[in-house]
């Protein structure tokens, strides 16, 4: 079977970003299938060019990167231009791929879903559509999307995609009701998770600790996007509250449109207890996370974010690290049920600082929570089982279409 995935933000193990679909693709190939991925030329995390031409990633997987506007991180308008250029160029690239049996589309951005639908219909093959974020609702609540005409058009496209797809897929249980309300159908849940075999509590992360000049300091790590939604201003405020506790060091690894302003704010405040580090490819993340003593996950306090399963939390847990989760909702439930970390209210810098101070003073507690977290992920959120569920979904869709 030949599976075509259209995913602007697709990342392989050698790139920075989430690798859920790369890991799914590798599992499909291991089970005897072929995968072609139509991906953007520009990294959604860094805004830098990934590749300028098509190339085989590894046997069984071909990645095609058609033209994509390089203005992703400049403004909302520029981001929209990037999405629309990919929508058009990916359509041309996807139609050139032959012998396709199933098309997989994913959102956000939702515009690439339109490409996936058109390609699936023209090739007369089933469409599996995955909802990774509740777009456009997230963009509306964050006031990124304000124009009433654009909002109406985006909602209409959302309804069309949800109702036209042969199968619907979500990566968080918090999305099920929304998708059901829009489409009248219950989607399949394959939650976010992690390849736990890539992480190990035995790793020390010594190379990164030396690079960060952490020595024996207590490292609080944030790894991921530095964007509007991530609310990293709260982390800076917590660093300011803890500036006299020299044993605590904040390390922010990643990139995004807000990174430059965050760095400027830290310099202006004279914060010497926080470091900003460049993003790392996924294959380096096990050592990055191993270098931390506690890990931080944070989003802005809007109701819709309570529905999300951020990938980074599962990586933190797989590495045997406790998580300070400043996100309410379903991911808080995971952390608390596992006894693998501590919840602090989103946007509450004082609570974040106080929790970090207590954890820094109780390293045995950190070790216990980290062990609990890893055991929980191995049982419930290991990528291997999720990839197998994805394979069964794809194969089932293909069989139904053939019948």
pLDDT of residue 11: 87
Residue 160 has pLDDT above 90, yes or no: yes
Residues 307/174, Cβ–Cβ less than 8 Å: yes
**pLDDT top residue among 64 and 54:** 64
The bridge status of strand 2-6 relative to strand 248-253 is: unpaired
Residue 44 has pLDDT above 80, yes or no: no
pLDDT of residue 18: 81
pLDDT of residue 81: 85
Q: Identify the three-state secondary structure at position 126.
A: coil
Residues 191/172, Cβ–Cβ less than 8 Å: yes
Residue 250 has pLDDT above 80, yes or no: yes
Residue 56 has pLDDT above 60, yes or no: no
Question: Which of these CATH numbers, 3.20.20.150, 3.40.50.740, 3.40.50.2000, 3.30.465.10, describes 2-193+382-402?
Answer: 3.40.50.2000
Question: What are the sequence ranges of the domains in the chain?
Answer: 2-193+382-402, 197-380
Q: Identify the three-state secondary structure at position 42.
A: strand
**Which CATH topology does 197-380 take?**
Rossmann fold (3.40.50)
Residue 190 has pLDDT above 90, yes or no: yes
* Average per-residue pLDDT for the chain: 92
For the chain, percent of residues with pLDDT exceeding 70: 95
Q: Give yes or no on whether 2-193+382-402 and 197-380 have one common fold.
A: yes
pLDDT tens digits for range 328-367? 999 999 999 999 999 999 999 999 999 999 999 999 999 9
Helices (H), 184-305: 206-211, 233-241, 259-268, 285-290
For the chain, percent of residues with pLDDT exceeding 90: 79
pLDDT tens digits for range 198-227? 999 999 899 999 999 998 999 999 999 999
Residues 205/292, Cβ–Cβ less than 8 Å: yes
């Amino acid at each position: 079977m030949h599976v075509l995935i259209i995913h602007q933000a697709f990342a392989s193990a050698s790139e920075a970003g989430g690798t859920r679909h790369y890991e799914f693709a590798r599992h499909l190939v291991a089970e005897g299938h072929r995968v072609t991925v139509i991906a953007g030329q520009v990294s959604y995390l860094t805004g830098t060019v990934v590749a300028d031409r098509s190339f085989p990633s590894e046997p069984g997987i071909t990645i095609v990167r058609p033209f994509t506007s390089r203005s992703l991180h400049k403004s909302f308008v520029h981001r929209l231009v990037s999405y629309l250029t990919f929508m058009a160029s990916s359509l041309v690239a996807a139609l050139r791929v032959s012998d396709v049996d199933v098309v997989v589309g994913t959102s956000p951005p939702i515009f690439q879903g339109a490409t996936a639908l058109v390609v699936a219909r023209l090739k007369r093959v089933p469409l599996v559509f995955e909802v990774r974020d509740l777009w456009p609702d997230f963009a509306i609540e964050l006031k990124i999307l304000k124009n009433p005409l654009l909002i109406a058009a985006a909602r209409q496209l959302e309804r069309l995609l949800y109702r036209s797809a042969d199968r619907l897929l979500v990566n968080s249980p918090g999305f099920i009701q929304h998708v059901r309300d829009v489409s009248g159908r219950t989607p399949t849940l394959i939650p976010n998770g992690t390849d736990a075999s890539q992480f190990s509590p035995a790793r020390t992360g010594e190379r990164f600790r030396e690079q960060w000049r952490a020595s024996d300091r207590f490292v609080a790590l944030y790894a991921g996007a530095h964007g509007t939604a991530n609310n990293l201003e709260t982390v800076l405020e917590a660093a300011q509250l803890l500036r006299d506790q020299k044993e605590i060091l904040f390390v922010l690894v990643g990139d995004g449109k807000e990174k430059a302003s965050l760095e400027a704010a830290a310099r202006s405040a004279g914060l010497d207890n926080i470091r900003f580090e460049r993003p790392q490819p996924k294959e380096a993340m096990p050592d990055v996370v191993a270098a931390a003593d506690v890990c931080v996950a944070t989003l802005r306090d809007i109701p819709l974010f309570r529905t999300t399963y951020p990938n980074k939390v599962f990586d933190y847990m797989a590495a045997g690290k406790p998580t300070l989760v400043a996100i309410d909702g379903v991911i808080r439930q995971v952390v608390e049920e596992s006894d693998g970390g501590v919840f602090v209210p989103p946007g509450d810098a004082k609570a974040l600082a106080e929790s970090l101070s207590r954890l820094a003073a109780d390293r045995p507690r950190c070790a216990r929570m980290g062990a609990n977290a890893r055991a929980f992920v191995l049982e419930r959120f290991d990528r291997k089982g999720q990839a197998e569920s994805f394979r069964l979904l794809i194969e089932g869709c293909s069989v139904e279409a053939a019948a």
